[in-house]
Structure 1
Amino acid sequence: MRKVFDLFKHHSECSFFPVLDRADKPRGLVCEKDLKRYIYSSYGRELLSNSAYRKRLIDFLTPCPSIDIHCPAERLLEAYAAADSPPGMIMTENFTYAGFISQAALLQIVDSKNLAAARDQNPLTRLPGNNTIIDYVQQVLEDHCQDYCLVYFDFDNFKPFNDTYGFRIGDRAIALFADLLRKLLPRQSCFIGHVGGDDFFAGFRALVHEDVHQRVSDLLDQFQHEAQSLYDAATRERGYIEATNRHGDLVRFPLLSCSAAMLWIPATAAAFTLEDVSQIIARLKKSAKASPIGQAEATIDADAITGERPDA
């Protein structure tokens, strides 16, 4: 305890110090506020230094959350938010002490992420845009602690719908889907974004396959049902619209729906790049549009891609 008093004496700018065991593993913090009644007592220092008093450094430890230094910033902020307003976070590497990040530094991270998100936000849906989505996928690929599922949503037959009813109604369809994403997907474990136009993105973290499948299916069904309100009564009754295709031919197009390409990324997945993920999802999009239920999925396992197929 004499060493503790000397530390606070020679580093008056510090109000706490991280405490490590002999293996450099963090045990918590020793805080000046917990020692004040001894510091300001005439005999407090001598009392704590007396082995007969039986007060040791471990008796003054305050718990402090710790997290691996390689975890993404979102995990860092989640761990801090779940704690009881600690002065910061202990950073570890291979479970040993690597450093300390202060409360002020954490607030700077929050501010910078909020500013970047605001700049990247889609003006129509108020959802994160491409830059934020790319950052999220990169963090997923670097996070080997949890399983993820990346889902790419793409409207079916949106161009003829947009050409027939105009951009204002087209924007209503896009806003409708964004509202359903917010309503039907769990905020605690799901990231949602707007790639642009009629393309959307969702990232599920640590959810079982059955739960993700059910939520995605419910979302697609709900959108297909509610999108019918955007058509006139006669078109709803017919179940299709007539419009020209890319070749200039007049053809019948089904009413609006949406397809979903799902890419599972387990914590044990092999090292893949953003380009790899983009190419896999592009192939899955084609499979999803060919599927009778509008879904296709693949899994990145420890060595390669498996199960790249449309759902049946």
Structure 2
Amino acid sequence: MLAFAPRAGRPVLTALGFSAALLVADATGAHPIGAARATEPLAAATALVAPPSPPGFFSFSDTIVSYRFQGPSAEPGIGVQRPDGTPTGRREPREIPKNVVNLFHTNAWTYGTNLVSLDLLRSGSQDPAGNAFGSFPDIGATELYLIYRGTLSPNRIFDTDVFAIPGLVKDIGLAFGVDANAKNTTFNSQKRAGTFGLNFAFDVPAGFLNLKVQGYKEFAHNGFAAGRFRSVEFQMTPEFELTYAIPLPFTGLPLSLSGFNTIILPKGRYGRTNEYETQLEFVSQTNLVLDVGQLAGGPAHRLEVFAGFQYWHNKFGADPRRTINTEEKALIAGVSYHLP
């Protein structure tokens, strides 16, 4: 098992977050992006325009419940003994299926936006549950992962267009957020992380394209380490996130393509005694979202299905030369329901 402090679940909100992102009314001019992805309107795509919100503090509000299956997922450090008689200690990466229930909420107000996502993830027994005394081989681990993302638009706050580049960037805003998780494994990651930086909302004809440049700071726990190495404080490091959503009206269906690409630079050391250096981490996800409610003649943006693919290189920053199972190639499929 790995002596490494992972950021389990990050930076993925999957198709659900993008589905909601397609609906946010552009009442603020703020365009957040981050681990929970962006919230931005598709005003140019009639099929993706959200119904107006009731009067109140928020110009837009949307709450979604979803289920998704994701696999085969990878967890750094988890492997199985090779069956071909190779020497002891040589292992193969172990593939892990996961079932995920998500509660997602996003809203927009005069000067910015807010986004909250709570994942309940249940692994197969390949990723065993456990505690400080050991693991339970026949029981899959359960994880809670909470994300908050907020933005503020200086253009809106100061009633100006200074924070924009005409024809290229329609808004430059402040972005900030928090990640937190709890997972019942022997490792007991207990991740706590914060982000702060700038969000660039590009001026595109339809959909959205956002680039976020920010600082990322993480604290975690390493249940396999001894003494002072159990509490892990990583260095502040740069993070770059590109998110997008594109309507596909040429298909004749209420269909959209959503995705993100995230790069996190090395953030310090990990291991039982911090003996290994983290590596550049890259994660990419692409999702196809179909509004089945609208397709069946019902209300738009009520019931959707989605499918996608996720690639994760050097997962959690782990070094593949030191740690097994650091590359993830996972298929994703699920269904989401927007609460009335």
Same fold (TM over 0.5): no
Pair member with larger Rg:
1
- If each structure's strand is expressed as a fraction of its own residues, which one has the higher value? 2
After TM superposition, the score normalised by the length of structure 2 is: 0.24
- TM (normalized to structure 1)? 0.25
- Structure possessing the higher relative contact order (Cα contacts under 8 Å, 6 or more residues apart): 2
